[in-house]
Every structure is written in C-alpha cells, then in structure tokens.
Structure 1
C-alpha cells in the first residue's frame, strides 16, 4: 500500500467511526461528511469556475473547466448515503471531471432524507436533467451531448434516473458513469460480508439504518427506481462502472455490469486494486484517483464522439 493510499484509508477510518455514531445527529453528520475528501488541501482546489443556478426548481451549480463546451453537459449527482453530501463538498472532483470530459457539469443539490424520503431526490435529479437538456451555462440553449454521472448514493440515483427518464419518454443521456454505486437494497451481494474487514468507510450495519431513514414505510426494496439492478437495462445508454476492490459494494458494480451485458448494454467495468469507496475524490493527491478520472474522460469523450 502506497503512502498516499494509507493516508486515505486512515482518514476514512476516522470518519467511519464518527459517522455511524452521528446517525442520530444529522446536522453534525452532514458537516462531517463534507470533509470526506479532506485528506489533503489539494483535493478541494477547484479547477475552473462555478456558480449557483436554479435548474427548473432544483438547486444546483454549474462547474466549468476552461476547456468545457457549453453544449456538452454532464449532470453530476453527489454521494452521501441519500442523507448527506452537497455540490460544495464535491466541487474539486466535479471540476476535474469537467476538465477530463470537456463537459460543463451541472452538480445537483437534490433533496435529502429523512426530511425528504425516496423518491424526492430521484425526482429532483430527473427534473434537473430535463432542465439541462434546454439550458446551459450560458443560458437557454439546447444540449448537443449529455452525460449523467454520480457516486455512491449518487451512483444509484444516476442509474435510477436513466430508468425513470426512459419511462417518461425523455431523451436519454449519451453516456452514464456510475462510481461505487449501491444498486440492490436487498443487500445480498457477497462482498458486503467478504469485504467488510477491508472497507475503511462503509460498515455493513449501516444499511439497515439507512433504509429506515431513506425509505417510506412499505416501500418495495426491489423497485428498479430504488434498486436499479432489478430494472430493464436493454435500452440503457453506454455505461461505465468504477469501483475499488476494497469496498463492500464491489459486487454491486460487478452484478450490475453482468446484467447490463446480458441485456445488450455497452458496459465497461473497472475494478481498481486496493482502492476504497469513491477514491476518485482524492485527486490530485492520490495517483489512482487521477488515473480513474482520466479514464472517465476517455470513456465520455469516446462515447460522445460516436453519437
């Protein structure tokens, strides 16, 4: 394990111990999660410009690297277990994704549970994407190319949003990137147990607690809008899944990739050795994070060039 990787693991281990204890103190937990990527000051340096925007009634911000094309637009959905996280805490990562992909990034500040349970956040993401189709960083203008990207809970919402947008008849994005997503609320993936001793940030015990916070009473946990693994992926856009092999969610990505491939989806799965949950946010400090973001950029630019 490299010194940088060890520093990230030690940082996340410290957050995990406090984050689980703070599930009953959500304001404090949300403040803690804002420091998720704070292993080094460089991770929060913004490589571009940003400003707030009302995305059709949904709070959001544009994050734009100087090489981004205003008609190439990527909606980013942050992680945080559906109960925390914000565009502000992700600004360093979204700016690097903007540069790597050449897209203007719309980072969505969707409503969080438990104040707003499922499907409120999902609806916000879909509404923001519809708005983005006709509105860019320079004002009202049609998008030429679109992408949806998200991590963790946001990776879940990215996949679910595509399924819902397709059901609504909204034009699908040209590509989708899902980083360390949760895709199965039955929590039946083997790695939830087999990787529990390696994952520095997610303890399996948190899943039951999160269900109580995020889901309304009586919710079917196999609903594809909640657990996209159970959705119809036959018309899904080109999909990139990135996951670390030190994650309890490792098999979530593997199972999603397997099903997508079986149903005819153009899907790529990248498993990164020794990497923890959403390691991409530790760029530029962590070398693997830099390479993963570069891979996202290559995937997106390749797929956009084909459409």
Structure 2
C-alpha cells in the first residue's frame, strides 16, 4: 500500500503573483546591494558584517528570553544550543538547524523571532544548533555536530536539560539538509526514528551536492543565486569530487530512505533548489514513508525566514499545520 503522499502547488491569483513578483524584485535589489560572501577578504569578515548590521545588512533581532547550554561533540568541541521556550507548558522539543548560508554562514542566533513563533504556535521548545561552518570546518564537521546534538536531545540527560523529549527535526536550506541527514544517520545507528521522531520539516533544502536542473538553470538572485549555492557547496565539501558527492552520506537524495518519519518539504517555486524538494519528496514516498511536498508560487529562497508579508505568513502556516497534525 502506497504511503500518504501529497504534492501540492498552492493557489495564487494573478494579482497576488504580481505582488509577489514586485516583492521578489525588491529582494533581488537588496541582495545585489550587498557584497557577496566570496567577494570579501575572508568568510569571517562577511559573517562579522552580517552579525553587526554593517554594509547594508540588518543585524538579527535577539530574543531576551533565549537560554544557552553547551554540550560536548564527539571530538570534545563544545556545541552551543540556543533554547527558546513557549509561553505555555512545552509538549516536546523541536531541534533546529539554521540556514543563512550553505554550511558556510549563519548562526543559531539568526532567527529568534522565527523560532519564537514556532515555539508558541506549536507549544514546543525550539532548540537551535550552532554547528561548525566551512571553510574552517568542512564536511563532515557540521554533520557530526548536528548528529551529536540530536543524540544528546534523545538521551535521558538531554531530555532532562531541555525539559521535554525530542519530537521534531527542522531546518531551512543547508539546515533542512542536515535535519534529513541526521534522521538517516540515526536510523543507520539503530535508532527507531519512526517511533522517536514525530516528523521532519525541511524548508528549501539542498539534497544533491552535484546539483539539480533547477539550480543549474536558475538565473535570478533573490537571497540565493546559482553561483552562490555552487560556491557554498564547493567550500563545504572541498575534498570531494562530484562522483564522491553522490554518496548517500553526502547527498541524501542518493541514500536508502526506508523507515523514515513523516516529512514536509516546503519550497518556493522561484527557488533554485526547487527540484531538491520535489525529487526528495517523491523518493521519500516511494521508499514507504509519509511525504508532503508544498510548493508556493512566487516564493523565493528563505521566504519563511525573511519577513515579506503574506507570503511569509503562508509558509509559516504550512509549517505549523503540518507539525500540529503529527504532534497529536
């Protein structure tokens, strides 16, 4: 019997699409007005400018109620976990892997307002992982940190410190890729992920580090360009050939996918990573797992993270609806 598989293109009127196109053009203009991360003297310089709101960037808004704990990675490195509690009693933990830059840029401090919204809407504790970044720490450092954080969250100590059991793995862009990779790695280590994890929420992820047609043919520059994504991947996986990147331990699209929890793959139809969500969502279902692919017309990369009015609200609503269904 075929598992529940739904691929849905959201409806949008011509007037709404025109409004989204106008907003997307503004986003493109904003992106072109900022320096590319690979144009500066170092990635560290770019990260600093973004964090401090320099050269056209807006520094991230921090939630004063967030707390921080540190856990040990397998090599002794201390992984920072940023914890945002809901306003009511928590029903579980959402382990989050941040976006903002292809395993190269970003921080667990980047999206406090986004995680606070999910925490309160789902009545769940949001825990964001500060995984290590390339080029200082190329593959597999980020993947190992992500997996070590998940194993901690699943442990009795982790449940005691975080206050609730792990229920959801979620992430955006590179973080969405990590969320999926972690569940595959847990399964391969003998964890019954279907009974332990209620669902996965992966927003506009990359699953093929050798690149899908939608990425290779993409011509626009709203948050993520084709050139930028390729440079991210080349920086994060510098020692792997294209053939080596087709290994399922690197590109999850090539992995064996059986025994997985329900998963949502959310993506905008103007996103260069569109094919990654469509391809993975289809393979997820073919492997016998519940799969939902939601495609949003006129939406660009990171549309749920960077506030843009109705289109951001729509994406957040899709995430909350999916998670609420499976948290029951």
- In the TM superposition, what whole-angstrom CA distance separates every residue of 1:122-168 from its partner, at most 9, and x where no partner exists? 1111111111123568737561x511000001011111111111112
Q: Is the 8 A contact 2:20 2:299 kept in 1?
A: no
Change (3 A) 1:62 1:227: same
1:164 aligns with 2:185: yes
Q: Distance in 2 between matches of 1:13 and 1:72?
A: 40
Question: What does residue 59 of structure 1 align with?
Answer: 80
Q: How many residues align?
A: 297
Question: What does residue 92 of structure 2 align with?
Answer: 72
Compute the TM-score of the two structures, normalised by the length of structure 1: 0.86
Q: Is the 8 A contact 2:67 2:83 kept in 1?
A: yes
Question: Cα RMSD between the aligned structures?
Answer: 2.8
Q: Distance in 1 between matches of 2:163 and 2:312?
A: 33
Q: Give the secondary-structure state (helix, strand or coil) at the position aligned to 2:305.
A: helix
Q: Is the 8 A contact 2:31 2:221 kept in 1?
A: no
Question: What does residue 9 of structure 2 align with?
Answer: none
Matches within 5 A, 1:86-105: 86-105=107-126
Q: Which has the larger radius of gyration?
A: 2
Q: Which moved more, 1:248-257 or 1:285-294?
A: 285-294
CA apart distance, 1:302: 1.1
CA apart distance, 1:7: 4.3
- In the TM superposition, what whole-angstrom CA distance separates every residue of 1:48-98 from its partner, at most 9, and x where no partner exists? 8311111344111101221351x5001000012101101111111111121
Q: Distance in 2 between matches of 1:39 and 1:30?
A: 10
Change (3 A) 1:216 1:168: farther
CA apart distance, 1:29: 2.2
Q: Is the 8 A contact 2:28 2:221 kept in 1?
A: no
1:240 aligns with 2:260: no
Q: Distance in 2 between matches of 1:174 and 1:125?
A: 18
CA apart distance, 1:27: 2.0
Q: Distance in 1 between matches of 2:123 and 2:57?
A: 27
Question: What does residue 237 of structure 2 align with?
Answer: 215
Change (3 A) 1:28 1:75: same
Question: What does residue 205 of structure 2 align with?
Answer: 181
Q: Distance in 2 between matches of 1:242 and 1:32?
A: 29
2:45 aligned residue (1, 13, 28)? 28
Gaps of 5+ in 1: none
1:293 aligns with 2:285: no
2:215 aligned residue (188, 192, 208)? 192
Question: What does residue 4 of structure 2 align with?
Answer: none
Q: Is the 8 A contact 1:244 1:272 kept in 2?
A: yes
Matches within 5 A, 1:248-267: 248-267=272-291
Q: Is the 8 A contact 1:199 1:246 kept in 2?
A: no
Q: Is the 8 A contact 1:177 1:296 kept in 2?
A: yes
Runs of 4+ in 1 over 6 A off after TM superposition: 38-41
Q: Give the secondary-structure state (helix, strand or coil) at the position aligned to 2:83.
A: strand
1:154 aligns with 2:170: no
1:116 aligns with 2:140: no
Q: Give the secondary-structure state (helix, strand or coil) at the position aligned to 2:200.
A: strand
Q: Is the 8 A contact 1:204 1:248 kept in 2?
A: yes
Q: Distance in 1 between matches of 2:115 and 2:18?
A: 25
Q: Which moved more, 1:155-164 or 1:49-58?
A: 49-58
Q: Is the 8 A contact 1:100 1:293 kept in 2?
A: no
CA apart distance, 1:20: 4.7
- In the TM superposition, what whole-angstrom CA distance separates every residue of 1:12-55 from its partner, at most 9, and x where no partner exists? 543355225436521232245556xx9999x8474x83111113
